[in-house]
Structure 1
Amino acid sequence: MHQLTVIVPLYNEEENLLRVEQKLGEYAEKSSVPTQILLVNDGSTDESLKMVREICERSEHFSYISFTKNAGLSAAIKAGIDHVSTSLTGYIDSDLQTDPEDFEVLLKEINNYQLVNGYRNQRKDSFKKNLSSTVANNVRNFFTKDGMYDTGCPLKIMHTDYAKRIPFFKGLHRFLPAMIMLQGGKVIQIPIRHYPRIAGTAKFGLRNRLIKPLIDCFGYLWMKRNYIHYEVGEKHLK
């Protein structure tokens, strides 16, 4: 039977962490597969780390790792994946603009795909944020041909063995479906619910959504050309 670890990267999210504890704790109690929550503190400078420690002391469902300084979202996801020991790895943002209960929608497809990606078909963000994300997704699609029109959606489930083989660089969190496909894995996107941010502040601006992703596309193309993928047909090891 599958087991799931949900990675929750966070940076200066003290205003959201009690909601994270409540919502993800409730989901872990009733999930269709045994589920644990891994909080990844990306060098927060507010009270986030203190609150994370308290949450993990209160609840058996939560554990955490904490960076000594801010390293970025890709590093936080990579560190989470490195510490996962369950067969499935999930990802959700700490702003909870997506609903943990929608992991159940993704789990229905996980036996047939190596990555199930949510997509926010009715986004509750500002016009500028929606427009910049649409443009960025179209640019990434042009380079990756992965067919994803919301690859940055912060609700995903992956088979952990595929996730651990992804060679991360800064910005690669935008290319997770494409990197699964490079390994010969199958991906699918499923509509999920989306909500406005009700606490904290967004960590990405126009530059993060447009200029940096365009630059990262060239890094992805280099990796695609040089990516090593093999399948062992037989072995005898001692």
Structure 2
Amino acid sequence: MAQAPDISVVIPVFDEEGAAPGLAREVARAFAGRSFELIFVNDASRDATRAVLGALSAEIPQLRVLSHAKNAGQSRAIRTGVLNARGAIIVTLDGDGQNDPADGPALVDALMAGPPELALVGGERVKRQDSRAKKIGSRIGNGVRRRLLKDTANDTGCGLKAFRREAFLRLPYFDHIHRYLPALMLREGYRTAFRPVNHRHRQTGRSKYTNLGRLWASVSDLMGVIWLQSRARNPGMVEEG
């Protein structure tokens, strides 16, 4: 078996046949010269996403394409990618091309330069290229979440993150977990950090989310994470012998 890569880039995609090939090539350029693999998780797309990615295997030897039999959502797709990843460091990006892959290596470097307890470095989007309504909804949502969870994160909706695979696998899984990774990492006794990253216009396809669609799920998720925080008991350092 080939030596395991240092980094696994995990990208969930659903109906992104237009964006996925270009994004794959951008990631390959951004991480050129590093030990990495690129995992696209096709969340039961109804278009040609799986086919167009499969056609890139000769061009990008680091590419792996995993496919769900049924649509299970972004968080489950990320978890599928992490469970199958061989790298100790995971980088996630949204599949619509709005995250800039060129920012990924800097997040990895910041994570690896930190102490062992630093488990996540998240991106915070600057000059967001979204509609005014989406930016307002995001600003309100982030403010409420940050106040209630005290996770110090300004933009958990940014899909670009670098984190330690081992730390992620210690977290309790639930749908939409990807928006609560900083709070859950802190709950486990890890540290988190954040860096500004670029944000781009969506060039193809359409957004899978709306402010109204997120509202009920966000309220339910917040209550669940607050409960998880209330039930956490951290033992501090663990010594043997």
Q: Same fold (TM over 0.5)?
A: yes
Distance 1:223 1:195, change over 3 A: same
Tell me how far 1:228 sits from its aligned partner.
Answer: 6.1
Question: What secondary structure is seen at the aligned counterpart in 2 of 1:76?
Answer: helix
Unaligned runs of 5+ residues in structure 1 are none
- The aligned counterpart of 1:11 is 14
Distance 1:58 1:229, change over 3 A: farther
From 110, 116, 121, the equivalent of 1:116 is: 121
- The aligned counterpart of 1:61 is 62
From 127, 133, 136, the equivalent of 2:138 is: 133
- Give per-residue Cα distances to partners, 1:2-59, cap 9 Å, x unaligned: 81101100000011122122211212324xx412111001111111111222223542
1:99 is the counterpart of 2:115:
no
Aligned length: 233
Unaligned runs of 5+ residues in structure 2 are none
1:191 is the counterpart of 2:233:
no
Distance, in Å, in 1 between the alignment partners of 2:31 and 2:106 is: 15
- The aligned counterpart of 2:164 is 159
- The aligned amino acid for 2:23 is V
- Give per-residue Cα distances to partners, 1:82-115, cap 9 Å, x unaligned: 1122110110011111111111221232131210
Query: What does residue range 152-231 of structure 1 map to in structure 2 within 5 Å?
Result: 152-227=157-232, 229-230=234-235
- The aligned amino acid for 1:29 is A
- The aligned amino acid for 2:17 is E
1:146 is the counterpart of 2:147:
no
Question: What secondary structure is seen at the aligned counterpart in 1 of 2:64?
Answer: strand
Distance, in Å, in 2 between the alignment partners of 1:170 and 1:180 is: 16
Length-normalised TM-score, structure 2: 0.90
Distance, in Å, in 1 between the alignment partners of 2:27 and 2:154 is: 26
Question: What secondary structure is seen at the aligned counterpart in 1 of 2:56?
Answer: helix
- The aligned counterpart of 2:27 is 24
- The aligned amino acid for 2:70 is K
Question: What secondary structure is seen at the aligned counterpart in 2 of 1:168?
Answer: coil
User: Does the Cα contact within 8 Å between 1:140 and 1:214 map onto a contact in 2?
Assistant: no
- The aligned counterpart of 1:234 is 240
Identity score, percent: 28
Distance 1:106 1:17, change over 3 A: same
User: Does the Cα contact within 8 Å between 1:7 and 1:77 map onto a contact in 2?
Assistant: yes
User: Does the Cα contact within 8 Å between 1:4 and 1:36 map onto a contact in 2?
Assistant: yes
Tell me how far 1:139 sits from its aligned partner.
Answer: 1.6
Deviating more after overlay: 5-14 vs 78-87: 78-87
- The aligned counterpart of 1:86 is 87
Distance, in Å, in 2 between the alignment partners of 1:126 and 1:86 is: 35
Task: Output the aligned Cα RMSD.
Answer: 1.8
Question: What secondary structure is seen at the aligned counterpart in 2 of 1:109?
Answer: helix
Distance, in Å, in 1 between the alignment partners of 2:170 and 2:211 is: 30
